[in-house]
C-alpha cells in the first residue's frame, strides 16, 4: 500500500460520501418504483442525464442556481408522469420483461434526442459563487459544493421518510407495495398512486443529475455510465428496499472512491465483486425480501 497522508485519505472518504449521495438519490427512486410497481426502470439513468441538461438550460434562462435546483427536477418529474401515464401503464399485468425492454428503448431514444437538442459535445454547469470555494474543516480543505450535495441528499431523505411515514398518501404507498390487491379491494385508485410514485422516483433521478452536473460535467452518456452502479446498489441493498438503497449507496460510493485512490485499475470491477459477495451470502440483498420479484 502506498504511503498516504491522513488528510488525503479523509478527503477521499468525503468524496465517497458525495458519490454515495448521488447513488442514493438514484437508487431510492429506482427502489421506490420497483417496490410499488415491480417495474425495472432501465431509463432511470437517462432521466438522471436529462436532469443535468435541463439544469443547464434553466440556468441559462434564470441565471439562478437555486431556482434551477427546484425547477429542473420538477420538469424531469413531470416528464416521468407522462411516461408512466402513456407508456408504462399500458404494460401493467404483463411480463416484467416488457417494461424493462420499453424503458431500455426509451433510454436509447432519450440519449439520441438530447444529442439532437443540445449537441454531441459535453457542457458545463457552474455551481453558484457561494458554493464555489473550499472550506477549512480543521483537518483539510474541502469544496463547499460537495458538502452541499451531502446536505441536500440528507434533507431529501428526511423529507421522503416524513412523507412515507407521516402522511396518508405515504401510508397508501407502503400498503400498496406489500399488498396491492388488498388496497384495491378497499376502493383506492392505485393508478394515481403509481403515477405519483413514478413521478417522485424520476424527479429524484433528475435532482441527482442537477447535483452531479457541476462535478462530473454534462454529456449524453453520463446516465449510461452511472446506471450500472445504480443497479448494483439496488441489488446489494435489496430490490425494493429504501433502507437498503441508502446503506448500499453509501457503501458502494465509499468502495469506488477508495478503490480509485488505491488501485484505479480495479475501480470498474470492484463493485461487481462486492455485489457477488453479498449475493452469495444473502441472495435477496442486505435488506431485500425473498420472492419480491417473483
Domain boundaries, the chain: 30-220, 221-294
Q: What one-character DSSP code corresponds to residue 241?
A: -
Of 29, 30, 294, 35, which Cα lies nearest the Cα of 176? 35
Q: Which pTM value belongs to this model? A: 0.92
Which class for 290: exposed (0-12), middle (13-18), buried (19 or more C-beta within 10 A)? exposed
Which triple of cell numbers denotes residue 138?
Answer: 480543521
Tens-digit pLDDT profile for the chain (294 aa)? 455 677 778 888 888 999 999 999 999 989 888 877 788 899 999 999 999 999 999 999 999 999 999 999 999 999 999 999 999 988 887 887 899 999 999 999 999 999 999 999 999 888 888 888 888 877 778 889 999 999 999 999 999 999 988 888 888 877 776 666 777 777 777 788 889 999 999 999 999 999 999 998 999 999 988 998 999 999 999 887 888 999 999 999 999 999 988 888 888 899 999 999 999 999 888 887 665 555
Location of C-alpha cell 417496490: 35
The answer to whether residues 52 and 212 touch, using CB atoms and an 8 Å cutoff, is yes
Cα(294)–Cα(292) distance, integer angstroms:
6
Cα(200)–Cα(188) distance, integer angstroms:
19
Amino acid at each position: 500500500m502506498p504511503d498516504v497522508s491522513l488528510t488525503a485519505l479523509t478527503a477521499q472518504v468525503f468524496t465517497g460520501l458525495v458519490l454515495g449521495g448521488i447513488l442514493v438519490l438514484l437508487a431510492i427512486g429506482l427502489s421506490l418504483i420497483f417496490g410499488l410497481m415491480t417495474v425495472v426502470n432501465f431509463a432511470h439513468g437517462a432521466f438522471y442525464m436529462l436532469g443535468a441538461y435541463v439544469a443547464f438550460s434553466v440556468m441559462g434562462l434564470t441565471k439562478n442556481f437555486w431556482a434551477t435546483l427546484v425547477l429542473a427536477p420538477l420538469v424531469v418529474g413531470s416528464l416521468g408522469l407522462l411516461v408512466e401515464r402513456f407508456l408504462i401503464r399500458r404494460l401493467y399485468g404483463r411480463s416484467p420483461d416488457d417494461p424493462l425492454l420499453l424503458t431500455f428503448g426509451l433510454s436509447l431514444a432519450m440519449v439520441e434526442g438530447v444529442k439532437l437538442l443540445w449537441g454531441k459535445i459535453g457542457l458545463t454547469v457552474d455551481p453558484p459563487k457561494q458554493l464555489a470555494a473550499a472550506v477549512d474543516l480543521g483537518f483539510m480543505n474541502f469544496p463547499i459544493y460537495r458538502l452541499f450535495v451531502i446536505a441536500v441528499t440528507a434533507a431529501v431523505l428526511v423529507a421522503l421518510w416524513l412523507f412515507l411515514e407521516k402522511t396518508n398518501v405515504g401510508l397508501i404507498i407502503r400498503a400498496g407495495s406489500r399488498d396491492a390487491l388488498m388496497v384495491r379491494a378497499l376502493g383506492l385508485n392505485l393508478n394515481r398512486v403509481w403515477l405519483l410514485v413514478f413521478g417522485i422516483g424520476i424527479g429524484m433521478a433528475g435532482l441527482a443529475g442537477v447535483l452531479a452536473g457541476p462535478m462530473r460535467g454534462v454529456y449524453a452518456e453520463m446516465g449510461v455510465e452511472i446506471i450500472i452502479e445504480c443497479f448494483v446498489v439496488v441489488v446489494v441493498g435489496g430490490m425494493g428496499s429504501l433502507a437498503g438503497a441508502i446503506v448500499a449507496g453509501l457503501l458502494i460510493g465509499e468502495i469506488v472512491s477508495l478503490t480509485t485512490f488505491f488501485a484505479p485499475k480495479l475501480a470498474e470491477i470492484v463493485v461487481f465483486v462486492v455485489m457477488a459477495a453479498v449475493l452469495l451470502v444473502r441472495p435477496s440483498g442486505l435488506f431485500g425480501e425473498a420472492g419480491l420479484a417473483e
